[in-house]
A = this chain, B = another copy of it.
Amino acid sequence: MQKSAELKLAVRDYECDLQGVVNNAVYQNYLEHARHEFLKGNGIHFAVLASEGINLVVTRIELDYRASLVSGDEFVIQTRLEQVSRLRFAFHQTIIRTSDNTTMLDAVVTGSGVNASGKPFLPQSLLALMADMSA
């Protein structure tokens, strides 16, 4: 079990827009990928859950854009998971440029889960992980 995780990525040119910087929406791709990798590192496979009809869903995202990643930048995504209520989780995520340790973006991603019948539901594996986090 990891209390938090770091994922190292680099900007790909197709992620940059006509301003010459990474497009705002692409940061959500980065963050989602980091969350899924974090979960996978703890034995929770997003795609497998989805194929079983269990969908983790984001209900709210707050993104503070502090500086812009550009072509060639390497960066680290820090991901930390917290349980905020019985059926609600929050990921705290930060993107840091490797070259100078600058924080580029802070994010809080709140979510919940639904099962195949559309009822609020979090898989036992995720509940156990969150309990470990707060231990």
User: Using a CB–CB distance below 8 Å, which chain A residues touch chain B?
Assistant: 12-14, 16-20, 23-26, 28-29, 32-33, 36, 40, 45-47, 50-51, 55, 57-65, 68, 70-72
A81–chain B nearest beta-carbon distance, Å: 17
A36–chain B nearest beta-carbon distance, Å: 5
List chain B residues, Cβ under 8 A from A23. Answer: 14, 32
Chain A binding surface, main DSSP class: mixed
A47 to B15, CA, bound (A): 12
List chain B residues, Cβ under 8 A from A61. Answer: 24, 61-63, 65
Other-chain contact of A18, B16, B60, B65 (Cβ < 8 Å): B16
A30 to B36, CA, bound (A): 20
Q: Show 26 residue pairs from A and B whose CB-CB distance is below 8 angstroms, ordered by the A residue.
A: A12-B29, A12-B36, A13-B32, A13-B33, A13-B47, A14-B17, A14-B32, A16-B17, A16-B18, A17-B18, A18-B20, A19-B55, A20-B47, A20-B51, A23-B32, A25-B26, A25-B28, A28-B28, A45-B72, A57-B65, A60-B63, A60-B65, A61-B61, A61-B62, A61-B63, A62-B63
A68–chain B nearest beta-carbon distance, Å: 7
Complex contact B17–A17 (CB within 8 A): yes
A22 to B71, CA, bound (A): 17
Complex contact B36–A32 (CB within 8 A): no
